[in-house]
Chains A and B, each alone.
Chain A
Amino acid sequence: MKPIIRVENLSKQYTIGAKTEPYATLRESIVRAARKPIDMVRRNGKAENTKFWALKDVNFDVMPGEVVGIIGRNGAGKSTLLKVLSRITEPTTGRVELYGRVGSLLEVGTGFHPELTGRENIFLNGAILGMRREEISKKFDEIVDFAEIEEFLDTPVKRYSSGMYVRLAFAVAAHLEPEILVVDEVLAVGDAQFQKKCLDKMKDVGMHGRTVLFVSHNMGAIRELCQHGVVLADGTVRFMGDVHSSIESYLDEWKAVSEAYVKSERNGADDPKPVEFNRISLHGSDGTERYLFEVEDQIYVKFDVEINSLPPNSSLFFMVLNKERVPVCAFESEGIQPQMTLKIDNHFLVRGTYSVHSFLHAARDKQFDVVYDQVAFEITDTVTPFVRHGQYHYGSVFGSGSWL
């Protein structure tokens, strides 16, 4: 059988310099152009900017009717791959052949205009997603029905609740009928009941012989929807196969880069510490060791401490560091036991990559053992309302408070 998507040696390079200065001004360009020869001499002709490959030599085929999950950590190249496939950005080298119409859903509600009514936005959004006007008219009732917004059809969407907004946006998108559907993390929106409805609709899409590429951090959704998986890591395909092996390979990869802290075997324990860490590991609420969490998961930190001679007034100090190694929060124990477990509440740390900074001490200047920047873990967010703002960085921890 012939593949419907054929990706050959696909690579995409970004210039990091251009990322920090998103747009140049004319003057800067002129100055830079004038300085270029001098810089070139100074740097012995080396290239000016640091480049990095968001995708490097990616190859895979997708057969018609397959539902494929694209799995990988943040920055693995998932979004870039989807952007290339949906023709939003051009590849640097390589080639993709598509034997069908592509509909891409990188964000729900793309192009929604707050001043326009629900009705007007259905047509606007539909046209943006590539639907013809008659096609939208034909499905109009179905869309309104799916979104459950009949009575607000002629209200500007800026008056909608966020739930209604998302429902309408997804309803339009769900009624796209291309041969190939490219979906990025859109199931992550709305309330649980609506999510279920979306999942069912997506399944429905798969059943009708449509080809779907689906990106999500939600392994549950991937497992439920997809038969196949492509695991990306550092811009390359790390694994390809059925969905279960793919998810396993992804989780294995996580274990490889992120593991428990274990005391290293020192040569001749000539200087035994009064107290020291033997092991620090993270666990889910079911007790299994893991380093990948959802925002709604509780995190259990288990400490194994070797106590040789317990100094008075000593305690365990534990901090979570974010990606920039900035402490996000701290916990301190009362006293030290050989086995200690700390529970970090769910819905506290926002999505991101973290590591652990922990020490056993008696006073600030008297630290017996220190573990710094180890036990990396990641928290993903597919459930909070913030998700609809894409990659927007919404703080370090979730706010504690409510609207009155």
Chain B
Amino acid sequence: MTPDTAADPQLIQKHEPAGPGDLPEQPLVVIEPSRGSNPIALADLWHYRDLFYILTLRDIKVRYKQTLLGATWAIIQPLFTMIIFSLFFGRLAGMPSDGVPYPLFAFAGLLPWTFFSNAVTNSGNSLVGSANLITKVYFPRMIIPMAAVASGLLDFVIAFGMLIVLMLWYGVMPTVSILLLPVLVVLTSLLAIGCGMWMSALNVKYRDIRYALPFLIQLGLFVTPIIYPLSMVPEKWRWLLMLNPLTGQIEAYRSAFFGQQFNWLALGISAVITVAILLFAAYDFKKMERSFADVV
């Protein structure tokens, strides 16, 4: 279909059925084999924003149904990882932590990391899990991996509350830098959407992704400064780590929480790479999208 006619919002929002007399001059939708890659139909996405909202809500509601601890899981995951890390890396290995108590340092890194890794995992499996939808109804497929990422935000907020409690415990007061937090969350979400969306599309065709994903995420934990600070890495190798878009973001989260000096270079590189990943993923997703219903 050609995206320019696909979702003229004015025409689409008209609910009353058209009488025989008032058909639009131009077809509302033209269905044709797509040539090359579809440009991303933002208008179409916008028209289905309600579906995005409701799918996000569904994922949130369903996530902790029939669990004993419910949303406490959002805290347990980073908290216990933090305790283990503090014991082994903080205590035993004596890992430096940029002047913040190590448990706090680790938790501040684990907070966005947990959000990111859960978001990418859920998002990566989301399309395959929604096969029944994909083969039965039309809607912009991108909404599914996007909603899977968005539904993780609630967990992030809950765990953030835990961080505040920890900060008060250690007597570290938030500063004005914390106002940058929403920007960082948006950036991390975009990165998670980019990675998750691409993985989910590949997963439709290659079920290898299901196995590769947990493994990749495990590796990611070590090539991102979560256990250790970026400052620990020798200066001449830091650029390599900064190519990981999460590096700049995790460092920036810590700076925002603890009022430290921002590493603007790292954050800038991260932002550029994030946008690049997002654009590439969206482009490739649209290209693969046409065969979803036939392959899934």
Residue ranges of A at the interface with B (Cβ–Cβ < 8 Å):
1-2, 4, 6, 14, 18, 22-27, 29, 63-65, 83-102, 104, 106-107, 110-111, 113, 115-116, 120, 123-124, 127-133, 135, 177-179, 208-210
Q: Which of B11-19, B173-181, B232-240 contacts A (4 or more CB under 8 A)?
A: B11-19
In the complex, the answer to whether B132 meets A87 with C-beta atoms within 8 Å is no
Contacts of B132 in A (CB 8 A): 110-111
Known: A14-B294, A86-B138, A89-B294. A127 touches B32 (CB 8 A): no
Of the candidates B24, B136, B207, which one forms a contact with A25 in the assembled complex, judged by CB atoms under 8 Å apart?
Answer: B207
Can you give 28 contacting A-B residue pairs, CB < 8 Å?
Answer: A4-B23, A22-B296, A23-B296, A24-B206, A26-B206, A86-B137, A86-B138, A87-B29, A88-B136, A89-B290, A95-B30, A95-B31, A96-B31, A96-B32, A97-B29, A97-B31, A98-B31, A99-B24, A100-B17, A101-B11, A101-B28, A115-B61, A116-B62, A120-B61, A128-B51, A128-B137, A133-B53, A209-B17
CA distance A131 to B28 in the complex (A): 17
Contacts of A133 in B (CB 8 A): 50, 53-54
CA distance A92 to B11 in the complex (A): 28
In the complex, the answer to whether A116 meets B58 with C-beta atoms within 8 Å is yes
Contacts of A107 in B (CB 8 A): 136
Known: A14-B294, A124-B58. A106 touches B137 (CB 8 A): yes
Q: How many of chain B's residues touch chain A, expressed as a range?
A: 35 or more
CA distance A150 to B29 in the complex (A): 38
B183 at the interface (CB under 8 A from A): no
Q: Mark B56-76, 1 if CB is under 8 A from A, else 0.
A: 001001100110000000000
Of the candidates A87, A111, A132, which one forms a contact with B31 in the assembled complex, judged by CB atoms under 8 Å apart?
Answer: A87
Q: Which 7 A-B residue pairs are closest in the complex by CB-CB distance? A: A97-B27, A87-B138, A96-B31, A64-B20, A98-B29, A127-B54, A127-B51
B293 at the interface (CB under 8 A from A): yes
Q: Nearest chain-B residue to A180 (Cβ)?
A: B17
Of the candidates A18, A102, A106, A115, which one forms a contact with B295 in the assembled complex, judged by CB atoms under 8 Å apart?
Answer: A18
In the complex, the answer to whether A209 meets B19 with C-beta atoms within 8 Å is yes
Chain A-chain B contacts (Cβ-Cβ < 8 Å), number: 154
Known: A18-B295, A124-B54. A96 touches B30 (CB 8 A): yes
| B163 shortest CB reach to chain A, Å | 30
CA distance A93 to B17 in the complex (A): 30
- The A interface is mostly helix, strand or loop, or mixed, namely loop
Q: Nearest chain-A residue to B202 (Cβ)?
A: A26
In the complex, the answer to whether A178 meets B17 with C-beta atoms within 8 Å is yes
Known: A101-B12, A102-B29, A127-B50. A120 touches B206 (CB 8 A): no
Of the candidates A27, A89, A129, A179, which one forms a contact with B18 in the assembled complex, judged by CB atoms under 8 Å apart?
Answer: A179
Contacts of A90 in B (CB 8 A): 31, 33-34, 290
| A201 shortest CB reach to chain B, Å | 15
Of the candidates A88, A94, A123, A178, which one forms a contact with B54 in the assembled complex, judged by CB atoms under 8 Å apart?
Answer: A123
Contacts of A93 in B (CB 8 A): 33
| B36 shortest CB reach to chain A, Å | 13
Residue ranges of B at the interface with A (Cβ–Cβ < 8 Å):
1, 11-20, 23-24, 27-34, 48, 50-51, 53-55, 58, 61-62, 65-66, 132-139, 204-208, 290, 293-296
CA distance A91 to B295 in the complex (A): 15
Contacts of B34 in A (CB 8 A): 90
CA distance A111 to B134 in the complex (A): 10
Contacts of B207 in A (CB 8 A): 23, 25
Q: Nearest chain-B residue to A184 (Cβ)?
A: B136
Of the candidates A84, A97, A120, A208, which one forms a contact with B17 in the assembled complex, judged by CB atoms under 8 Å apart?
Answer: A208
In the complex, the answer to whether A111 meets B13 with C-beta atoms within 8 Å is no
In the complex, the answer to whether A128 meets B133 with C-beta atoms within 8 Å is yes
CA distance A130 to B44 in the complex (A): 11
In the complex, the answer to whether B138 meets A23 with C-beta atoms within 8 Å is no
Known: A99-B28, A101-B28, A116-B62. A26 touches B208 (CB 8 A): yes
Contacts of A18 in B (CB 8 A): 294-295
Q: Nearest chain-B residue to A85 (Cβ)?
A: B31
In the complex, the answer to whether B133 meets A111 with C-beta atoms within 8 Å is yes
Q: Which of B23, B31, B132, B133 has the most CB of A within 10 A?
A: B31
Contacts of A97 in B (CB 8 A): 27, 29-31
Q: Nearest chain-B residue to A25 (Cβ)?
A: B208
Known: A92-B33, A120-B58, A120-B61. A132 touches B18 (CB 8 A): no
Contacts of A24 in B (CB 8 A): 205-206
Contacts of A129 in B (CB 8 A): 137
CA distance A113 to B136 in the complex (A): 15
In the complex, the answer to whether A29 meets B206 with C-beta atoms within 8 Å is yes
In the complex, the answer to whether B295 meets A100 with C-beta atoms within 8 Å is no
| B195 shortest CB reach to chain A, Å | 18
